[in-house]
Amino acid sequence: MRIAGIDPGYHRCGWAVLEITPRGGLLHGSGTIVSDAGEDMARRLHSIAAGIDQLISLWQPDVMAVEELFFVKNVKTGIGVAQARGVILQRAAAAGIAVAEYPPSMIKKQLTGSGNADKKQVEYMVRRMFELPEDNQLDDELDAISVAVCQAMRSGIPEAMQ
């Protein structure tokens, strides 16, 4: 099974592709889709859609796991992220890919055992699972990896992953 994990955003959208094998999980790739802050929202959303289409075409995931929107302090930011999530969900649906959505607390619980874990604890677990260097990834990328791992764990993957 191939899982695409997505941390939605309209400026930086994190992505990760995780392959589940009989021996555990293999992280094929991860990164961020970046839209130009100088563009209007329609163009930024188009950039996100194009990046998701490219990810789907290149990696052909079986399922796309997407982090749900949580409470945000800045309403304008929350609306932008919600719009980006809509684009991401639509592109997955258009490609016939199953979508799973997880709230941040579920992702944290799957990776650390606590739904109240802080970002550093989740980052530590992700880096430990995949032996990632300490400073090469953006938060959005690490969050996308954690979303993919959550989907893998919720799907009953081999114990080697846990």
Q: What is the 3-state secondary structure (H, E, C) of 79-100?
A: HHHHHHHHHHHHHHHHCCCEEE
Residues 89-132 pLDDT 10s: 999 999 999 999 999 999 999 999 999 999 899 999 999 999 88
Catalytic residue numbers?
A: 7, 67, 140
- Domain range list for the chain: 2-161
Superfamily of domain 2-161: Ribonuclease H-like superfamily/Ribonuclease H (3.30.420.10)
Q: What is the dihedral of CA 113, 7, 69, 125, to 10 degrees?
A: 10
Residues 20-41 pLDDT 10s: 988 788 999 999 999 999 999 9
Instruction: Determine which helix (DSSP H) or strand (DSSP E) holds 124, and give its type and residue range.
Output: helix 119-130
Residue 148 and residue 4 in contact, taking contact as beta carbons nearer than 8 Å: yes
| Long-range contacts (CB closer than 8 Å, 24 or more residues apart) made by 35-42 | 35/10, 35/11, 37/11, 41/10, 41/80, 41/83
CA distance readout (Å), 60 to 36, 64, 71, 118, 120: 26, 10, 31, 32, 30
Residue type, 13: C
| pTM for the model | 0.92
What are the structure tokens assigned to 40, written together? 């209007």
Residues 36-76 pLDDT 10s: 999 999 999 999 999 999 999 999 999 999 999 876 678 88
